[in-house]
Homo-oligomer: A and B are copies of this chain.
Amino acid sequence: MDTPTLDDLRVSASRACALLRVLAHEDRLVLLCRLAEREHTVGELEQALGIVQPTLSQQLGVLRREGLVDTRRDGKYIHYRIASDDALAVMQTLHARFCADTTNHGDTR
């Protein structure tokens, strides 16, 4: 468990970076927050988050292509849910750090 080779590090960093690039977008992050609770239809997300539908669809498309979410069609509606454990793990870390309990204002920075 010592320092990895530069190549190994680069390979891991490249993969991690690909995930981070998808997460580093406020709309997508908020979408994933909601989806982390439970699955949602596009219409629900649109209403809950106030994102206009085409924008929403594009960002959902990014999440789909990158494998962070999966879809399920139920008649007219399409339900989205989180599909990536990696993404979920990062989301949980972020939640603990940035959405922590507002009663506890310990500034651990």
Chain A contacts to B: CB under 8 angstroms: 1, 3-4, 6, 8-10, 12-17, 20-21, 23-26, 29-30, 33, 37, 48-50, 67, 84-86, 89-90, 92-94, 96-99, 101-102, 108-109
Contact = CB atoms under 8 A, between A and B. Distances in A.
Contacts of A48: 6
B93 A108 contact: no
Contact of A99 (B4, B85, B94): B4
B89 A12 contact: no
A48 to B, nearest CB: 7
A67 to B, nearest CB: 8
Contact of A109 (B24, B25, B86): B86
Contacts of A50: 6
A24 B13 contact: no
A85 B97 CA distance: 9
10 contacts: A3-B37, A8-B99, A8-B102, A9-B99, A13-B26, A13-B33, A13-B98, A17-B26, A89-B96, A93-B93
